[in-house]
Structure 1
Amino acid sequence: MAAPPSSIDQVETDEEYVLLDLDGVLKQVDIPANAPYVLSGLDTLNPILIINDKIKLIGEYEETIGTCFVFTEGEAAPVAHEETGPSEVNLFSGKFIVDPKQAPSKEVKPIASLQKVLKFRLLPETDIEDATATQTST
């Protein structure tokens, strides 16, 4: 006989990851590193991104074909080789040796999968009031 589901089993968390694509804008404006930004209207069809209180962008969701994976890249630990060999007195028994000529390697780890990409374009000044009014009315 199966046990009744607990309340923990019934709680379902829905997390959705979205990639913010600024490639279409980078050729038109210079976005400073670590600039403050405000992203609003993620639950609307056209979210607004304001960077550094100057650059105003409007986004549009695009569904991905299949699933996209997001990865992080970091330094991998060097490969260590255990010293073994037919020696009566193995001075390196149980020791590990790292090849100094070994090139540094990278380690890639998956972070998340996503099904949507949010592509941004510059928001013309005349559209700013329209976009803000649409977001506040929904």
Structure 2
Amino acid sequence: MEGKSKETEHVEDEEEYVLLDLDDVASQVDIPPNAPYVLSGLDTLNPVLIIGDKLKLIGEYEETIGTCYVFSETDAAPVVHEETGASEANLFMGKCIEDSNQAPTKEVKPVASLQKIIKFRLSPEVDTSASAVESTDFNL
């Protein structure tokens, strides 16, 4: 009698990154930073993004040409030069010297690649004049 070996089927969740393009909307209304939002319908042709209580955006998928890469940027440690070598005139031997004229540097690391962009536009039911007025601060 032969025993059957069961192979467990390993299903991995595949991550897919999508860029949310709000450029067209940002020129029409002010979107406050860190505003609460709800993103729904990612599996539909027109995802919906609701920002705060009143701003409703309708999205449409666009395929990218090639692959887009997303990067993160952090402050990099300053470049430090260590003086080495024997010399009677070398007063800084074994010391670390930092160039104060050097501009601050950034370290850029790839985070993800993506093939889709969701381009958002205002929902027809949004009143842009009311949204813009509510987000404006008046200082007298």
User: TM-score normalized by structure 2?
Assistant: 0.76
Q: Which residue of 2 aligns with 1:75?
A: 75
Look up the match of 2:26: 26
Q: For residues 70-96 of structure 1, what are the alpha-carbon distances to aligned partners after superposition, in whole Å with 9 as ceiling and x for unaligned?
A: 011111111111211332696644442
How far is the alpha carbon of 1:68 from its aligned partner?
0.1
Q: Secondary structure at the match of 1:25?
A: helix
Number of paired residues? 120
- Mapping for residues 98-137 of structure 1, pairs under 5 Å: 98-125=98-125
Q: Which structure has more helix as a fraction of its residues? A: 1
Unaligned runs of 5+ in 1: 1-5, 127-138
Work out the CA distance in 2 between the residues paired with 1:76 and 1:69.
20
- The runs of 5 or more residues in structure 2 that have no matched partner are 1-6, 127-140
Over aligned residues, Cα RMSD in angstroms? 2.4
TM-score by length of 1: 0.77
TM superposition shift of 1:56 = 0.5
> Residue 60 of structure 2 aligns with which residue?
60
- Aligned partners of 1:121, 1:58: CA distance in 2, in Å? 6
- After TM superposition, give the deviation of residue 12 of structure 1 in Å: 2.8
- Taking a change above 3 Å as real, the CA distance of residues 87 and 19 of structure 1, as seen in their structure-2 partners, is same
Identity %: 74
Structure 1 Cα separation of the partners of residues 94 and 12 of structure 2:
48
Contact 2:86 2:93 in 1 (8 A): no
Kindly provide the CA deviation profile for residues 76-118 of structure 1, in whole angstroms up to 9, marking residues without a partner as x.
1111112113326966444422112211111111111000000
**Contact 2:62/2:117 (8 A) holds in 1:** yes
In 2: Cα distance, 1:89 partner to 1:125 partner: 77
Amino acid across the alignment from 2:75: E
State the shift of 1:10 in Å.
Answer: 4.0
Pairing 1:87–2:126 present: no
